[in-house]
Structure 1
Amino acid sequence: MASPSPRRHALPPPRHLRTLSSTLVQESVAAAAALVQKWHPDDDSGSLFLHAAEHEAQRFLRAAADLHRAMLFFASNVTHGGHGLVQAQALLLTAMGRLDLELQLLLDDITQSADDATRSNIRAVAEAMMAAGYGKECISTFKSHRRAALATELQRLLGFLSPPDHLHKLTWEQLDGSIIPSWLAAATVAFNSLFAAEKGLCDAVFAGGNAAVGEAVFAAVANDQATSLLAVAEAAVARARRAPERLFRVLDVHDALTEVLPGLLSVFGDSSEVAARAALVVAKVGEAARGILGSLEVAIQKEPSKATAAGGAVHPLTRYVMNYLVFLADYQEGLALLVYDDHEQEASSSPSVIIQRLVSALLGKLEAKAGCYREVALSYLFLANNTQYVANKVVGSGKLRGILGDGWAEAQSGKARAHVGVYVRAAWGKVMAAISGAEAPEAVEQAVMEAVGMQEQWVAADEETGEALRAAATAAVVPKYRMFYRRYGAAVRLTPGDVTTMIAALFAGPVGCSRKMMSELDQSVEFVLNARGMSLFTCQWRPSTIIEPKALIFLCHGYAMECSISMRGTGTRLAQAGFAVHGMDYEGHGKSSGLQGYITSFNDIVVDCSKHFASVCEKLEYKNQRRFLLGESMGGAIVLMLHRKEPTYWDGAILVAPMCKIVEDMKPHPIMISILSKLSNVIPTWRIIPNEDIIDRAIKSEEWREEVRNNHYCYKGKPRLKTGYELFMASLDIESNLDKVTLPFIIVHGGGDAVTDPSVSEALYTLAESKDKTLKLYPGMCHALTSGEPKENIDIVFADIIKWLNERAASTP
């Protein structure tokens, strides 16, 4: 193999070749100069990439590259390149100014059009700037624009500025009502798509260089925004302060974090600042959840044992805890991740153990409360009612039953039956002793009357429990009393039939309902929790003489009213007509939690109604039933908003004097309206809105006026500032959307109504797009058509309502 030739130094090119190259470079600079001047950054000539032809943009990019090469050429020619270098550098600076402007325009445009062509143009501009030595300027422009765009989009999603420095000044109700729901929606979009899209843009634009550049740019753009978004959750959860009713919001935050965490780690990286902050927030959420659960157990244990329930009824604590656990069971998977502690065994902190501990604490407290009754029989009635209620709630919740087991629920039902047995022996013991001791007939009869009198005010948890109590008492007492009656015959005034009837009259239900009515209707009440942890009273009336109701009807009562008393007549009449009727007291109304007569958010009422009504519709026995809404006064506005929320879900509506507009002489003064808009968030609960007592204006029947005045569940004070503002805005909202009503409806309205203007019902009838619509105006009748008129007028109104319902319930869903 020949040895390599000795290396030679390169000789400079001949003079004529250097002249030729210089000429070509100068020509390219001249050509570029014309194009750069045409697209000078100071000229308002549109955009190269958005408005000009594609070949023009490509020419400009080539011109920029030519100018950069010319600079390098002239810089290498120290003797003759001075002037050319200065010229090329000046032109390149101008060209880079233009490309920086184009980059800004493209980045602004990408928020509306993130197609491949736009991304390709941004990348081309970035590559041209970085190749020409202007990478720092390119990255600075990119970061500032994308950071601002991302912040704007997050603010749009959240509805408030981030970071939320003002959170510590907000009440929990404000956090729960708007901040956290907005964060839940925004976090899902941001971490699942928004940040991923931003990362994709950074990768696409800076893919030609070092991958680390794209990652660094993305971190500069997104890290602060992501950590600020996580800070919202952290700050909100910190305000929960171990209040049991706030746990569900904490769990909602945890579920959202769990859902977005894989995407977050994929986009930002496992070792990123954002991943570390997310891990910290998850840890704090877990700490908050464990603290709240611990505080609930302590609260149950500290509940005063002497605070018993009248008549041995289901205690509010029982309802609260069991409804709480039903909700808690829905969070089983998320709760499992939250409660595990690195320093504890899983078995000691699993959701099933936690729920069992809470139930055990409740049952222990019920035992303690039972011991505070003076009558032994009443204490065991209390245990029977509450233990059976616990068992029924477990059986009625598939998830809670799955956690505790069918055997556990059956064991509690067995305990309840045992309590019934002890109750019967204690309640009727004197009677049995008198019969067995062969005492005089008068003494036996006196014992029977005393036993019945003692139990007249005692109650059963539900009709099924009442039947069990009556059956057990009948089986224990009547056969022995029958033998006693046969022995003494004419000397005894009370027959066995009389004793049977007296026992059958016990636990018959609410005062004022006849035994015949109770035999025809199943009535029940229940408290449920809304998403904000508030306890809401619900009631139902259902015909017991038929297997399947004609349809479902959901009641929406008026402002300051409630369901169980003021709408009892409506529920009873419709149930007797064959319909299953369900009602709910809104937050701040009737027997539900909240400041009486106070509406914090009209939308919250609509959401609560929507969720509860839907949960009823989803029950197995109601799966194929048609669904109707009935709203009175303000309830009419709620009905219309429920329809707007889900336009095809409801099969029809009955609107009784609906609130679509506030009548002029009931409307607050314009000065007060202005005050409302400014002060409703500052002093929301002040009762300073002047209004006259409308009971006389709304109700014609003096008897019903007196009943409403004596019903302490009906609010009769002045409307509070926030309430007035919410009602006013809801009325305006409904009035402006009358033409969007599409469901079948019937309006019944009194011609003499001085509370809600009958002309507004006429406007609704005229403007609504519904094909099936009916308007019934009753001359001379007042606002409270279904309860406040003389009986003959009420009969007329319900005849029209039931006829309308029967015609539409008969059609196939």
Structure 2
Amino acid sequence: MRGMHLTSSKGSSPTNSYAQSPMSTSSHHRTFSTSMMEEDLLYAEEIIKRWDLDSSFYTKLDYLFSGDRREARQFVKSVKSLQSAMHFFVSESASSEKIIHAQKLMQVAMKRLEKEFYRILSSNRDYLDSESISNRSSRARSSISEEDNASDEDDMNSSVSDSERVTVSDLAMGDLKSIADCMISSGYGKECVKIYKIIRKSIVDETLYNLGVEKYTFNQINKMDWETVEPKIKKWLHAEKVAIKSLFYGERILCDYVFSSSDKIREACFSDICKERATALFEFPELVAKSKKSMERMFRTLDLYNTISDQWPEIEMIFSFESMAIVRTQAVTSLVKLGDAVRSMLSDFETAIQKETLKTPIHGGGIHPLTRYVMNYLVFLSDYSISLSDILADWPLQVQSPLPESYFSSDNMDESSSISARFAWLVLVLLCKIDAGAELYKDVAQSYLFLVNNLNYVVSKVNSSNLRDLMGDNWLVKHGQKVKQYAGNYERMAWGKVISSLPENPIADSLTTEVARNSFRRFNLEFNEAYKKQSSWVISDTKIRDQIKISVAKKILPVYKMFYERYREVFQGADSVVRFAPDDLGNYLSDLFHGTGAPGSISTSSHSSSSSSSSLSRSH
């Protein structure tokens, strides 16, 4: 105790003004403690009055907490000494003059600290930004105010490097904590907190405004068309991440640090600064979820759900105070409403597929727009499988179908309520529509080609996306085999007559000239008919197209080549009998399945099918 007071008053001695002060007494019976407290009071008076804002000697440009902070530390120590002296004099029933004088000194000191606190907060806005604070949350700051940080910054607001920026921020935080601790312990915490709230709340408001965060009512959102709502959602998605990872997180760290001496104050302070804006931030997704729904809004709704769900641990941590329960509740409410909206839109999507009627066959037997739309939609949905698993967990699949569950189930699902069952069922609904579309073709071969194109498109989309994990390898194998089966059926129906028109063994068989002539004529007729009919047909997948071409060529060209070589000289010059050389046949087959045989067939196909999928029109 003695050592502390001797240190605090080292280098100071009673002045004449002190001897003449009304606080001095002529009593020769002072106790040792009284003497020491009076010395401390004298020391505090000397330091505090030097920084009295109302003093004629005070220079307006001077600040305690700038440059060399030794004077600042002495000032804080003097306040602590003054505080101790006041407690002592009150306990000793000392004269009211001493207590009144000490109280006046305390008011002078608090006025000075208020100004310093405001100046540090306002002039260091750029260095106390939430991003810098949150990025350095792991740094130990507890010793900042105690270290001898004798930095020589002439202008704390000047342009500084990253390392200097960290120093300025840490110094500012240490100064704020030192002042807050001193004012709170002196009974002036309310004045300190008022300044802090005003400045930091303005920073929060300004940051959210710059991020594009606005407050809306349900009627406002519900009346907006999607082209207006979607950009606002995009802004919100970015703003929410910045707000949680930087803004509110940084404010919580700064508030906890500056007011670490009082749990009650730091909670009240953080709550008053952030509660209203945080609640409004998390209200926006709920308004979107409750507004009018359409399938085109599905993915942005899931983005909103993902963002809150992914950030939930941080939200819970940042807003852990009991006074911030409303923020946590609002975030959970938005999650629930977003989940409800997703389930509703998914149900509408299934209903739309089931109601779709395929009335017009696709020219060339190509991929139907419904197939493209549904599969692209499901591929995008599969990217949200984690969120969908959570959303659909308590929404079991209700299938009203005569088909057994095994027909649409996958090897990855354990129960009908799983997300895998939901996706498998939606794909099955599409496949049923594809089967119905195949029946629109009068040519059986073309109907099989339509099945090849569309089922292969479905299988390819599943195989190349997250749908593979949901549908399972068994599903892929089973439906891949169906594609091959449909391709084989197409070949038999489209080229069977061409193949049967050729002799089984043109070399071994002894054919009369007339029989050979008739075989050539029949082959010419059948091949020409098959080629002419299929010249506008399409196989969209390059790999499948090549496989079918090779398969058809292997069935026709070797036999025809032997037949051609065997009877070429017999019918030399008879163009009406031998119309194709083997190489010509190969070239004709090579030209097939590009849809080039009928000018405008691709655009016509697109036009003729547009009306049948109007309710599911979406470009991907």
TM-score, normalized by length of structure 1? 0.53
* CA distance in structure 2 between the partners assigned to 1:43 and 1:92 by the alignment: 17
1:41-120 superposed matches below 5 A: 45-46=60-61, 48-51=63-66, 53-65=68-80, 81=96, 87-114=101-128, 115-120=169-174
Unaligned runs of 5+ in 1: 1-12, 514-532, 537-813
Q: Is 2:529 aligned against 1:450? A: yes
Corresponding pairs, count: 497
* CA distance in structure 2 between the partners assigned to 1:454 and 1:493 by the alignment: 21
Would you say the 8 A contact 1:314–1:389 is kept in 2?
yes
Q: Is 2:370 aligned against 1:355? A: no
Would you say the 8 A contact 1:421–1:472 is kept in 2?
no
Find 1:317's aligned residue among 370, 388, 391: 370
* CA distance in structure 2 between the partners assigned to 1:362 and 1:484 by the alignment: 46
Find 2:475's aligned residue among 399, 403, 408: 408
Deviation at 1:395, TM superposition (A): 2.9
Cα distance change of structure 1 residues 116 and 263 upon mapping to structure 2, 3 Å threshold? same
Q: Is 2:426 aligned against 1:374? A: no
Find 1:249's aligned residue among 269, 278, 300: 300
Deviation at 1:359, TM superposition (A): 1.6
* CA distance in structure 2 between the partners assigned to 1:287 and 1:455 by the alignment: 49
Q: Secondary structure at the match of 1:126?
A: helix
Match of 2:318 in 1: 267
Q: Is 2:240 aligned against 1:226? A: no
Cα distance change of structure 1 residues 314 and 70 upon mapping to structure 2, 3 Å threshold? same
Find 2:453's aligned residue among 373, 385, 401: 385
1:765-804 superposed matches below 5 A: none
Alignment-mate amino acid for residue 152 of structure 1: E
Deviation at 1:376, TM superposition (A): 2.3
Offset from partner CA, 1:512-533 (integer Å, 9 cap, x none)? 99xxxxxxxxxxxxxxxxxxx9
Indicate the percent of aligned positions where both proteins have the same amino acid.
32
Cα distance change of structure 1 residues 15 and 314 upon mapping to structure 2, 3 Å threshold? same
Would you say the 8 A contact 2:44–2:82 is kept in 1?
yes
Moved more, 108-117 or 216-225: 108-117
Match of 2:14 in 1: none
Would you say the 8 A contact 1:29–1:70 is kept in 2?
no
Cα distance change of structure 1 residues 71 and 412 upon mapping to structure 2, 3 Å threshold? same
Moved more, 94-103 or 501-510: 501-510
Max radius of gyration: which structure? Answer: 2
Find 1:202's aligned residue among 255, 268, 274: 255
* CA distance in structure 1 between the partners assigned to 2:59 and 2:196 by the alignment: 21
Would you say the 8 A contact 2:48–2:109 is kept in 1?
no
* CA distance in structure 2 between the partners assigned to 1:317 and 1:328 by the alignment: 16
Cα distance change of structure 1 residues 305 and 254 upon mapping to structure 2, 3 Å threshold? same
Alignment-mate amino acid for residue 478 of structure 2: A
TM-score, normalized by length of structure 2? 0.68
Deviation at 1:74, TM superposition (A): 7.3
Q: Secondary structure at the match of 1:535?
A: coil
Q: Secondary structure at the match of 1:136?
A: helix
* CA distance in structure 2 between the partners assigned to 1:42 and 1:457 by the alignment: 99
Cα distance change of structure 1 residues 217 and 348 upon mapping to structure 2, 3 Å threshold? farther
Alignment-mate amino acid for residue 37 of structure 1: D
Would you say the 8 A contact 2:373–2:618 is kept in 1?
no
Offset from partner CA, 1:736-756 (integer Å, 9 cap, x none)? xxxxxxxxxxxxxxxxxxxxx
1:390-539 superposed matches below 5 A: 390-397=458-465, 399-428=466-495, 445-474=524-553, 492=577, 494-495=579-580, 497=582, 501-508=587-594, 510=596, 535=619
* CA distance in structure 2 between the partners assigned to 1:41 and 1:124 by the alignment: 27
Alignment-mate amino acid for residue 414 of structure 1: Q
Match of 1:34 in 2: 49
Offset from partner CA, 1:455-509 (integer Å, 9 cap, x none)? 2221111333223333444455668878999899768454574666544432145
Would you say the 8 A contact 1:40–1:98 is kept in 2?
no
Moved more, 491-500 or 462-471: 491-500
Offset from partner CA, 1:334-357 (integer Å, 9 cap, x none)? 332333227789833433222212
Q: Secondary structure at the match of 2:126?
A: coil
1:147-226 superposed matches below 5 A: 147-156=201-210, 158=211, 160-164=212-216, 171-177=225-231, 179-209=232-262, 211-226=263-278
* CA distance in structure 1 between the partners assigned to 2:561 and 2:476 by the alignment: 37
Q: Which is richer in helix?
A: 2
Unaligned runs of 5+ in 2: 1-24, 129-168, 398-412, 504-514, 600-616
Q: Secondary structure at the match of 2:536?
A: coil
Deviation at 1:144, TM superposition (A): 2.5
Q: Secondary structure at the match of 1:348?
A: coil
1:271-350 superposed matches below 5 A: 272-341=325-394, 347-350=415-418
Q: Secondary structure at the match of 2:416?
A: helix
Moved more, 142-151 or 465-474: 465-474
Alignment-mate amino acid for residue 468 of structure 1: Q
Cα distance change of structure 1 residues 29 and 84 upon mapping to structure 2, 3 Å threshold? farther
Find 1:142's aligned residue among 196, 207, 210: 196
* CA distance in structure 2 between the partners assigned to 1:86 and 1:163 by the alignment: 51
* CA distance in structure 2 between the partners assigned to 1:474 and 1:24 by the alignment: 112
Alignment-mate amino acid for residue 475 of structure 2: W
Cα distance change of structure 1 residues 411 and 534 upon mapping to structure 2, 3 Å threshold? same
Match of 1:573 in 2: none
1:655-670 superposed matches below 5 A: none
Which of the pair has the greater relative contact order for Cα pairs under 8 Å at 6+ separation?
2
Match of 2:510 in 1: none
Cα distance change of structure 1 residues 368 and 40 upon mapping to structure 2, 3 Å threshold? farther
* CA distance in structure 1 between the partners assigned to 2:184 and 2:99 by the alignment: 19
Q: Which is richer in strand?
A: 1
Would you say the 8 A contact 1:383–1:419 is kept in 2?
yes
Alignment-mate amino acid for residue 337 of structure 1: D
* CA distance in structure 1 between the partners assigned to 2:181 and 2:54 by the alignment: 19
Deviation at 1:390, TM superposition (A): 1.8
Alignment-mate amino acid for residue 506 of structure 1: L
Alignment-mate amino acid for residue 262 of structure 1: P
* CA distance in structure 2 between the partners assigned to 1:274 and 1:324 by the alignment: 34
Q: Secondary structure at the match of 1:420?
A: helix
* CA distance in structure 1 between the partners assigned to 2:213 and 2:55 by the alignment: 38
* CA distance in structure 2 between the partners assigned to 1:354 and 1:454 by the alignment: 40
Would you say the 8 A contact 1:420–1:472 is kept in 2?
no
Would you say the 8 A contact 1:32–1:67 is kept in 2?
no
Would you say the 8 A contact 2:267–2:321 is kept in 1?
no
Alignment-mate amino acid for residue 139 of structure 1: V
* CA distance in structure 2 between the partners assigned to 1:325 and 1:40 by the alignment: 76
* CA distance in structure 2 between the partners assigned to 1:15 and 1:294 by the alignment: 94
Cα distance change of structure 1 residues 279 and 458 upon mapping to structure 2, 3 Å threshold? same
RMSD across aligned positions (CA): 4.2
Alignment-mate amino acid for residue 149 of structure 1: I
Would you say the 8 A contact 2:251–2:270 is kept in 1?
yes
Cα distance change of structure 1 residues 188 and 39 upon mapping to structure 2, 3 Å threshold? farther
Deviation at 1:232, TM superposition (A): 3.5
Would you say the 8 A contact 1:340–1:350 is kept in 2?
yes
Deviation at 1:369, TM superposition (A): 1.4
1:607-756 superposed matches below 5 A: none
Offset from partner CA, 1:50-71 (integer Å, 9 cap, x none)? 4364232234334444555676
Cα distance change of structure 1 residues 218 and 342 upon mapping to structure 2, 3 Å threshold? farther
